[in-house]
Amino acid sequence: MRRDILILGVDPENRDEIYRRRAMGELHYRLAGWPKTFDYVLMLDFGKPDNPLPDLLIDVARGSFFSLYAVAGEHPRAAERTEAEAAAG
């Protein structure tokens, strides 16, 4: 999934735009509000990781051409990150 589409799909209010793009064959309707539907995001980054949504995606694993992120909220590491941020600030 492209970075712009990932960001567009965060907000379920973008459903109409997602349906329009789906009709044109660009993307799947399940992307509307994807943070409530998916637990993980696998991004192919070819060795140049760039978390497009650092407040929402937690680094889990990296390979030579991919990054695996957990969607914050349900993942155990989300609580760890929240505690670390609270301690820092």
Q: How many CB atoms sit inside 10 A of residue 60's CB?
A: 14
pLDDT beyond 90 at 77: no
| Domain spans in the chain, listed from the N-terminal domain onward | 1-38, 39-89
What 3-state DSSP class applies to 28?
coil
Categorize the per-residue pLDDT at 67 as very low, low, confident or very high, splitting at 50, 70 and 90: very high
pLDDT value of residue 62: 93
Q: Is the pTM of this model over 0.95?
A: no
Could you list the beta-strand ranges (E) of the chain.
40-44, 57-62, 66-71
CA angle 68, 48, 52 (to 5 degrees): 60
